[in-house]
Every structure is written in structure tokens, then in C-alpha cells.
Amino acid sequence: MKILNPATHALIAEVSEDSASSVRAKLARARFAQPAWAALPLKKRLDTIRVFRTRITEMLETLARTLTLEVGKPIRQSRNEINGLLGRIDFFLAEARRILRAEKVYTDAKSKLEERISHEPLGVIANISAWNYPYFVGGNVFIPALIAGNAVLYKPSEYATLTGLHIAALLYEAGVPTDVFIPVVGGPAVGAALLRQPVDGVFFTGSYATGVKVGAAAGRRMAKVQLELGGKDPIYVCDDVDVKAAAAGIADGAFYNTGQSCCSVERIYVHQKIHDAFVNSFVAEVKGFKVGDPLDDSSYIGPLTRRPQLDVLRRQVADAKRKGATLLAGGGIIKGKGNWFEPTVFANVDHRMVLMKDESFGPIVGIQKVANDAEAIKLMNDTEYGLTAGVYTADEKRARRILAEVHSGSVYWNCCDRVSPRLPWSGVGHSGIGVTLGTAGIATFTRPKAWHMKAN
Ligand code: NAD
């Protein structure tokens, strides 16, 4: 498999892909190795992950550079992602013991009955991952899964393979056995081959379209399935905000990582009273973003990771223009080598336009004027997705009232495009099923076993 730099289309590396038979052999190795890993005292597994954390900090610059080269993420954002992983590891290390401890839930001295729950690892799990935040979306799965005593077959996205191989190397250096964490290399066909193996759990991050296939394949096996899918995340700006500050925060939420975040702001609704002022500030903010070489520290917008996405954006732009939207910034492919698209802003959009309905996953956003809170809520909920949604207002009560009515896994007041290791990460509707992060995101890698114990 050829690995190309999305900024230049230069060949970075060639790696050999897995085949159906090598995937089968990897499952057999993991199956054999998992019980011994699970039998280690928890402290040993935690210590191993602690060493992995140290190795990440020691290798940070190399890891960031690889991530930037293969994904096109601006280098400062690559460093941010890897640093962000450290906080997530710290959360898992701090909470795992409490969540994995067996519990005595009932005792009856008279009948000498005791009821207990132990938290058993699932066994061997498949972790099929996305490329946009490979350290985050991968780490949300393989770190707690390993801590809980599972073996992991880790399929990084074909667009983040070198990062996946780096992760494997650092886990091995930290002491994770080579049969307990095994990378599976390749694209969709290799992912599908992995799903044909009798794994005990499938943890997938990616698009809704692929999630449907993954769910169907895993369903036949009765394996536990988690799907973390896409979003069309809305923000509503009320009439009582500091317009400049709100515009700056929301522009960052829409364009960070070149708009390729599952929780990127993809739709903006603005109260009519401040609409024009907000649009002006927002466009000024976006025009200030530096587009350029992702290895350059000063670049904020990089290339798109996947070339086909350029066409998706081009079609969204054409459709919005045809239906009467006003183009205020960007709007086209940047010619030359690499997958470059201008930071693009539309006003006067509405829900007939694909731009306001389908996930864009790129540097583009639409701004729609609304008359009041009720209209904003109705439009925010007019989507198949439900990953995150936010409101900007000076009034906390107003924010709580609005956010209570919004159907999404995470809600934000005066912030956006944010993930916390302490809070569960989940989606509603086409945004998926299951939870990572938070304490529920540790427990999910276990199966509760019920013990009915009666002394004679
Ligand atoms: P994708 O669906 O194209 O691919 C995801 C993974 O699935 C890749 O590893 C790919 O090789 C594999 N795959 C593809 N077809 C397969 C099949 N038939 N069987 C098994 N595996 C298969 O998604 P992507 O382009 O890597 O990621 C972008 C999408 O991920 C966006 O929709 C984004 O919103 C979503 N995402 C969601 C979250 C979240 O936490 N909810 C986080 C990051 C990304």
C-alpha cells in the first residue's frame, strides 16, 4: 500500500497490506495470548500504559511529524493531539482500578448467600479506526481495552497507517506483548476481513455509511458493537453575545483540523438581531486563517486528507450557489499538487441545501439567520445526526433551556468542538451507538459476570 503526502502527493512510504489469511493468523495469536495478559495483576497493565505514556512524550516531535506528513494535519495541531492523548491516558490510569474492581452487592448471613459482580475483559476486540484524530479515536479504545485485559486487533485507517505502526512500536517498547496488540494494515477490504473473524467486540470509528456495514457484519457474530460515527454539528448564537468573541470561538470550532473533526461546527444559526454583525466578524476571522505547508508552525489550515472529499465539497458549493446562498469566502479547490480547498463561508443558506444536511468534513460552513430560540432549536434538531450541539449566550438559564431540547450526545454552552476524557462521548441517531471516554468508556471493554455464591 502506497502512503502519499496529502499536501504534495509525494510518496512517503510503502507498507505491505494484510490479507484474509494473515488477519486470521493474527486473530489466532491474539486469542492465544489474551488470557495471560488478563491474568496479570491490574497494576502490571497500568504500569505498562504508564511507560507507553512516557515513550509518547519522548517521541512527541517524531510522532507529530509523521502524523502531519501522512494526514496533512498542521504540525501545531498534531502536537496538540498527541499532548491531548496524555490527559486521556491519565484519566484512564486514575479511574481504571475503581471501575474494574469486583463488587459485593448483597450478603445474607442467614442463608449464607453472597452476590458479586466481576468485570471480565471481552476477550479479543477489533478496533477499526479513523484517520482524522488517530491518537484520540484509537486511544479511546485500545488504552482502556488493554487496561481491562483485552487483546486488541488494531486497524488504523489506511490514511494513518504509519501512525498506527508507531503506536504499536511504542506499546511494545512499554511491555505490551506483541500478540496482545496487533496492528492490521490495509483499507476497507482488510477491515471487512477483520470483521469476518470471530472477535468478541467491534469498536469502530468512521462514517455512518461504513458504520452501517460494520454493524451488519458484527451483528451476525453477536459480538458487542460500538459505532462512533459522523455529525452535522450545529451552533446557535443568541442575540446577547459578545459577537467578536463568539465569532472567533466558532470559527476555530468550524475550521480547526481543516474542518475534519467529527465534532466540527458544520452549521451556524444566528439570531436575526446580531446576524449581520456576526457574519462580518466571522468572515474576517476566517479570512485571517493561514493556509499553507502543514509542516510550517504558522499554518492553521492544511490539505484535506482524502482526495475524493474535494469533490464532495465542490458539489456542496455548487448546490448552495444554485439554491441562492451567498458565498462570502473561498468556494473552490486550490490548484496545484495536493488536496487543497479554500476556507469557505456561505450566508443565506437553508435546509434545502446539501451543505446544511450532509456531513461536509472540510473547511466549509453555512450561516443561517433565525427569528428566535424556537426556530433555532427546530433547525438544530433537523438532522439524522446527533453528536454535539452548542449555544452561545450570556444567559446560562437560556442555554440550559435550549440545550435540554437538543438531541445530541454532547452539548456545549459558550464553547464547541471540545472533548473531555471525564465525560462520556456518544452519539444519537446516525452519530452512532455506544460510549467511549468517561468511566463508562472503561466499563464498556468489560462484561459483567454475576456470581451467586452460597456457602454450605
Ligand atoms: P471511514 O468510514 O471511511 O473509515 C473508517 C475505517 O473503516 C477505516 O479504517 C476504513 O479502512 C475502515 N473500513 C472502510 N470500509 C470498511 C468495511 N466495509 N468494513 C470494515 N472496515 C471498513 O471513515 P474515515 O474517513 O476514516 O473517518 C471520517 C468519518 O469518521 C467522519 O464521518 C467522522 O465524523 C467520523 N468520526 C467520528 C468520530 C466520533 O467520535 N464519533 C471520531 C472521528 C471520526
- Give percent above pLDDT 90 in the chain: 98
Phi-psi region of 102 (alpha: psi -120 to 50; beta: other; left: phi over 0): beta
Q: What is the pLDDT of residue 121?
A: 98
Index of the ligand 1 atom closest to the CA of residue 206: 30
Nearest CA to ligand 1 atom 28: 206
* Burial classification of residue 407, based on how many CB atoms lie within 10 Å of its CB (0-12 exposed, 13-18 middle, 19 or more buried): middle
Work out the pLDDT band at 219, boundaries 50, 70, 90: confident
CA 6 to chain centroid: 20
Nearest CA to ligand 1 atom 19: 192
Q: pLDDT tens for residues 280-320? A: 999 999 999 999 999 999 999 999 999 999 999 999 999 99
**What is the edge-to-edge ordering of all strands in the sheet holding 124-128?**
181-183, 151-155, 124-128, 201-205, 224-228, 432-433
Whether pLDDT at 351 is above 90: yes
d(C-alpha 368, C-alpha 234), whole Å = 11
Nearest Cα to Cα of residue 423 among 120, 156, 95, 57: 95
Nearest CA to ligand 1 atom 12: 188
Q: 389 C-alpha vs ligand 1 centroid, how far in Å?
A: 21
Q: pLDDT tens for residues 65-115? A: 999 999 999 999 999 999 999 999 999 999 999 999 999 999 999 999 999
**CATH T-level fold of 233-413:** Aldehyde Dehydrogenase; Chain A, domain 2 (3.40.309)
Q: What is the pLDDT of residue 137?
A: 97
Residues of the chain with CATH 3.40.605.10: 2-229+429-454
Whether pLDDT at 222 is above 90: no
Q: pLDDT tens for residues 364-423? A: 999 999 999 999 999 999 999 999 999 999 999 999 999 999 999 999 999 999 999 999
With a threshold of 0.85, does the pTM exceed it? yes
Residues of the chain with CATH 3.40.309.10: 233-413
Nearest CA to ligand 1 atom 40: 228
Cell output for 296: 510550517
SS3 content of the chain, % helix, strand, coil (to 5): 45, 20, 35
Q: What is the pLDDT of residue 256?
A: 98
CATH architecture under which domain 2-229+429-454 falls: 3-Layer(aba) Sandwich (3.40)
Of 135-144, 217-226, 339-348, the poorest mean pLDDT is in 217-226
Residues with CB under 6 A from ligand 1: 128-133, 137, 155, 157-158, 187-188, 191-192, 195, 205-207, 210, 213-214, 228-231, 262, 359, 361, 387, 427, 432
- Mean pLDDT, rounded, of the chain: 98
Q: 86 C-alpha vs ligand 1 centroid, how far in Å?
A: 23
Q: What is the pLDDT of residue 38?
A: 98
d(C-alpha 127, C-alpha 145), whole Å = 10
Index of the ligand 1 atom closest to the CA of residue 187: 11
Contact 85, 139 (CB under 8 A): yes
Nearest CA to ligand 1 atom 9: 157
Q: pLDDT tens for residues 108-128? A: 999 999 999 999 999 999 999
Q: What is the pLDDT of residue 220?
A: 80
Cell output for 65: 511529524
- Give percent above pLDDT 70 in the chain: 100
Whether pLDDT at 269 is above 90: yes
Q: What is the pLDDT of residue 332?
A: 97
Q: 450 C-alpha vs ligand 1 centroid, how far in Å?
A: 35
Index of the ligand 1 atom closest to the CA of residue 213: 18
Contact 71, 63 (CB under 8 A): no
Q: What is the pLDDT of residue 381?
A: 98
Whether pLDDT at 221 is above 90: no
Catalytic residue ranges: 228, 262
Q: pLDDT tens for residues 55-66? A: 999 999 999 999
